[in-house]
Chain A
Amino acid sequence: DTSVLAGVYGPAEVKVSKEIFNKATLEVILRPKIGLPGVAEKSREQLIRNTCEAVVLGALHPRTSITTVLQVVSDAGSLLACCLNATCMALVDAGVPMRALFCGITCALDSDGTLVLDPTAKQEKEARAVLTFALDSVERKLLMSTTKGLYSDAELQQCLAAAQAASQHVFRFYRESLQRRYSKS
């Protein structure tokens, strides 16, 4: 099973070279399970960072930095979606003001057009196309999409619709786990 450990630090001090005068500087650091972080990690970090930029209310904390550190514990497919979900939960837990929640869903299309949600590593390798979407919680709008492979326009719409339907399971999980956390106090 894919699992990722996420930690959010912020709003904290930021170096003068990186500070933005009117909003918070968001940083994402993704560490793979083995080896040094490479270009693939860098591109995933940018994708996660751009999703967070759209959702976090950075204007409330100008000249500060909000850093998310992600450590991959095990990777069995759909890693980017898992990182997005972990980042969202970590931001909520840290009390960073956000205008909505977001979740990540991965879709794989194999050679005969069947759609598989949350594919395993094997399914991702054999698929014709792998699409990852980040959806927001208010109106299920698309925040970020990254795709790899060959697919048609109609298939893209089909995958997006399936992802929107699947996202409510993820949001329900968020709600239940947060309610459990606040019920203990």
Chain B
Amino acid sequence: MAEAAAVAAESLAGGRARAARTVLNQVVLPGEELLLPEQEDAEGPGGGGERPLRLNAGVRSRVRVVCGPGLRRCGDRLLVTKCGRLRHKEPGSGSGGGVYWVDSQQKRYVPVKGDHVIGIVTAKSGDIFKVDVGGSEPASLSYLAFEGATKRNRPNVQVGDLIYGQFVVANKDMEPEMVCIDSCGRANGMGVIGHDGLLFKVTLGLIRKLLAPDCEIIQEVGKLYPLEIVFGMNGRIWVKAKTIQQTLILANILEACEHMTADQRKQIFSRLAES
């Protein structure tokens, strides 16, 4: 009997939109609608409460909320399109209502403008290189988009090389374009990645976790032995250490990090530090 009542309540709850504030950091499913803060004030708690009298009825202060990945605007509300945890970031400088987004776990990368990615050169045709970034089509990279490259002084890039660059054009309608210089013309770490080392693929969520400001994993890994790591937002990581064995250990640790809890990780690091 109780189960029937609970199930009935749940079926009603499925139809009504919930306030975004109440669902923060919880798992949301595609199809759910979320109300923004100013709307839930207007819709009010049921029907019993008294509404304050407003002098200029109809003029509400509008707050500009940014709809991030996993959410779409649907009328006045937010429609969830991907499964994941709902997150919110308060606006830094006071204007606007902040950003809402869904933290989802996926392996497939979709090019986004401004993302730094690791690509593999697959073809050289005329003045551009075709670079595979793991998306639905290869990105194009002009040979002039390297630091110090001119028409006479071509960069030394072969098919099969690894490139670290950022997207300047990446939308659903056009072929993605990437460059290896920033807006001032400096390389800033981008360009062809050295010959040795190992490239492997992880999920996009793990990359975001590793690139977060205070990531313990990276600090702990750095204490083990000297290494070079490049993280691409397309789920690719390139590591290089002094010996092949150390490189492989690093690759295994980073891949396993996703499924380990903090305690298990500390155990593994302490075991490695001893040996």
Whether chains A and B associate is yes
Residues of B within 8 A of A11 (CB): 108, 110, 135-136
Segment of A41-49, A122-130, A136-144, A146-154 in the binding face: A136-144
Instruction: Tell me, rounded to whole Å, the shortest Cβ–Cβ distance linking A106 to chain B.
Output: 20
How far, in whole Å, are A94 and B136 apart by their CA atoms in the complex? Answer: 14
Tell me if A63 counts as interface (CB < 8 A to partner B): yes
CB distance from B42 to the nearest CB of A (A): 22
A-B CB contact pairs (8 Å), 16 listed: A11-B108, A61-B136, A63-B136, A63-B137, A65-B136, A92-B83, A94-B107, A101-B31, A137-B14, A137-B30, A138-B31, A168-B14, A175-B27, A178-B83, A179-B27, A181-B105
Give B33's nearest chain A residue, CB to CB.
Answer: A138
* 0/1 string, A171-185, CB within 8 A of B gives 1: 110110011011111
Q: How far is the CA of A54 from the CA of B173 in the complex (A)?
A: 21
Q: Which residues of B contact A62 (CB under 8 A)?
A: 172-173
User: In the complex, are the beta carbons of A178 and B82 less than 8 A apart?
Assistant: no
- CB neighbours (8 Å) of B259 from chain A are 184
Q: Flag if A94 contacts B137 (CB, 8 Å).
A: no
Nearest residue, chain A, Cβ from B261: A184
Looking at A61, A101, A181, A182, which has the most chain B CB atoms within 10 Å of its CB? Answer: A182
Task: Please tell me the size bucket of the interface on A.
Answer: 35 or more
- State which of B30, B79, B107 has its C-beta within 8 Å of the C-beta of A92: B30
Residues of B within 8 A of A182 (CB): 27, 83-85, 105
Chain B, 84-101, CB within 8 A of any chain A CB: 84-85
Residue tally, chain B, CB below 8 Å to A: 31
In the complex, which residues of chain B have a beta carbon less than 8 angstroms from the beta carbon of A171?
Answer: 14
Q: Which A residues are within 8 Å of any B CB, using their own CB?
A: 10-14, 57, 60-65, 92-95, 97-101, 136-140, 168-169, 171-172, 174-175, 178-179, 181-185
Contacts of A168 in B (CB 8 A): 7, 10-11, 14
**Candidates B31, B72, B79, B105; contact of A185 at CB < 8 Å:** B105
Say yes or no: A174-B29 contact (C-beta < 8 A), given A60-B172, A63-B136, A99-B81.
Answer: yes
A99 touches B31 (CB 8 A): yes
Q: Are B108 and A64 in contact (CB under 8 A)?
A: no
Say whether chain B's binding surface is mostly helix, strand, loop, or mixed: loop
Given A137-B31, A168-B11, A174-B29, check contact A98 B136 (CB 8 Å): no
Cβ of B270 under 8 Å from chain A: no
9 closest Cβ pairs, A-B complex = A95-B106, A100-B31, A97-B81, A64-B136, A98-B30, A11-B136, A179-B27, A138-B31, A92-B83
Complex interface residues of chain B between 134 and 158 (CB less than 8 A to chain A): 135-137
**B226 an interface residue at 8 Å Cβ cutoff?**
no
In the complex the two chains form, is B205's CB within 8 Å of A185's CB? yes
- Given A99-B31, A100-B31, A182-B85, A12 contacting B136 (CB threshold 8 A): yes
Check A99/B79 contact, CB under 8 A, given A168-B14, A185-B105. yes
For B15, the chain A residues whose CB sits under 8 A away are 138-139
B104 within 8 A of A: yes
Q: In the bound complex, how far is the Cα of B107 from the Cα of A93, in angstroms?
A: 10
Contacts of B85 in A (CB 8 A): 182
Known: A63-B136, A183-B27. 18 other contacts (CB 8 A): A10-B136, A11-B108, A11-B135, A12-B136, A60-B172, A61-B172, A92-B30, A95-B83, A97-B81, A99-B31, A99-B81, A137-B31, A171-B14, A172-B7, A175-B29, A182-B85, A184-B259, A185-B258
| Chain A proximity of B81: nearest CB distance (Å) | 4
- CB within 8 Å of A: which of B34-55? none
Q: With a CB–CB cut-off of 8 A, which chain A residues contact B11?
A: 140, 168
